[in-house]
Amino acid sequence: MRPVIGRLAIIGQGLIGSSITRAVYERKLARETVVTDASPKVRKRLLELGLGEARIVKTAAEAASGADMIIGCVPVRSFSQVVGEMAPVLKPGAILSDVGSVKQGVVAECLPIIPPGVHFVPAHPLAGTEFSGPDAGLPRLFVNRWCILTPPEGSEETAIDSTRRFWEAMGSRVEVMSPARHDMALAITSHVPHLAAFSIFHTALAQEDKDHSPVIQFSAGAFKDFTRIASSNPVMWRDIFLMNREPVLEALRSFITDMEACARAIEEGDGDTLEKLFSVSRSTRRKVIEKEHISQQPDEPDDALKDTLFRPYSQDN
């Protein structure tokens, strides 16, 4: 495959950043790849890992200098600072992107400090595992996963197209939407479910403490999914909740109201309401499954992931 990018800079080499580095190398998507990470320990580890032909440099500015595309793979609350460091060296026509789980706040913070002539096309690949760090990266992590682009109003179509082509070449399915719509959709499908997972895990720990009986030992199925979710990167999640505050609180209020309606039905022994509620879930889920099945037929992403000890899940943030 012909490289789609000349010089690519990837800032941050955790799970997502190092997965991009690996994928770009495997698919030959850039003529040159320069990577960096704020942590000296991670940079040392990158040297040991080798990660394709990526050049490892010390600072974001050094990596971004002369790059055609720059992808920030850092916690969402750190991104604007990194953009500030890179701003003086970004070349006109370059595309600046990220992989963060929150868009409105990031766009608001970054737009004012991005030099004119540099295109900002935020991206969010819905992919991940519960592991972190450069060792956790997987070259096929993005295959058949959604990548959502949230270009600010007035973005140039050519820049959006280039970013789309990049992610399609990574094997992803690309969707474009506004930052606000993205943040609400993710609050519901990802951020609040994670909060629920964290909370139920705490409820279980408290119960074990209370009566010294095993609870977590029986973590299979539903609860196992929850505990896997609950073990994702704490700093990344802290930042997501702080950055996506309003949509998360809105979704959370609606969720808690729904839960309380369930609690009332249980308390009152109202079987009809419960059955009706559960039936709607089931029929809607069927529709989702049918859609998924068709779109995922051509190329299942899981082959490359079979070596990992635990099943990755595709939307960790």
Stretch touching a second copy by CB under 8 A, among 64-72, 79-87, 92-100, 291-299: 291-299
173 bridge partner residues: 146
Beta carbon nearer to a second copy, 1 or 220? 220
130-169 residues near a second copy, rule: CB under 8 A:
130, 145-146, 148
Structure tokens, 68: 């055609």
Q: Give phi and psi for 293, each to the nearest 5.
A: -60, -45
**Smallest distance from a second copy to CB 167, Å:** 15
Beta carbon nearer to a second copy, 161 or 260? 260
Identity of residue 91: K
**Nearest in space to 255 (alpha carbons), one of 314, 195, 198, 204:** 195
103 makes contact with a second copy (CB under 8 A): no
Q: Is the dihedral of CA 193, 195, 199, 201 positive or negative?
A: positive
211-270 residues near a second copy, rule: CB under 8 A:
211, 213-235, 237-239, 241-242, 245, 248-249, 251-256, 258-260, 262-263, 265-267, 269
299 makes contact with a second copy (CB under 8 A): no
Which one among 41, 44, 203, 308 touches a second copy, defined by CB under 8 A? 203
279 makes contact with a second copy (CB under 8 A): yes
What are the start-end ranges of the H helices in 73-190? 79-86, 104-110, 157-169, 179-186
**Smallest distance from a second copy to CB 22, Å:** 20
**Smallest distance from a second copy to CB 160, Å:** 19
* Residue 131: other Cβ atoms inside 10 A: 19
What are the start-end ranges of the H helices in 157-306? 157-169, 179-186, 192-211, 221-230, 234-243, 245-267, 271-296
**Smallest distance from a second copy to CB 88, Å:** 29
Stretch touching a second copy by CB under 8 A, among 53-61, 104-112, 160-168, 187-195: 187-195
The contacts of residue 110 (CB under 8 Å, 6+ apart) are 79, 80, 83, 96, 120
Give the torsion through C-alpha atoms of 174, 178, 181, 183, to 10 deg. 80
**Smallest distance from a second copy to CB 50, Å:** 27
**Smallest distance from a second copy to CB 216, Å:** 5
Q: Give me the 12-51 binding string for a second copy, x by CB under 8 A, dash otherwise.
A: ----------------------------------------
105-134 residues near a second copy, rule: CB under 8 A:
126-128, 130
Which one among 6, 111, 168, 284 touches a second copy, defined by CB under 8 A? 284
Cα–Cα dist 181/104, whole Å: 9
- Integer angstrom CA distances of residue 200 from 17, 177, 220, 225: 30, 32, 14, 11
**Smallest distance from a second copy to CB 241, Å:** 5
**Nearest in space to 123 (alpha carbons), one of 66, 162, 91:** 162
Stretch touching a second copy by CB under 8 A, among 20-28, 32-40, 63-71, 174-182: 174-182
Beta carbon nearer to a second copy, 57 or 262? 262
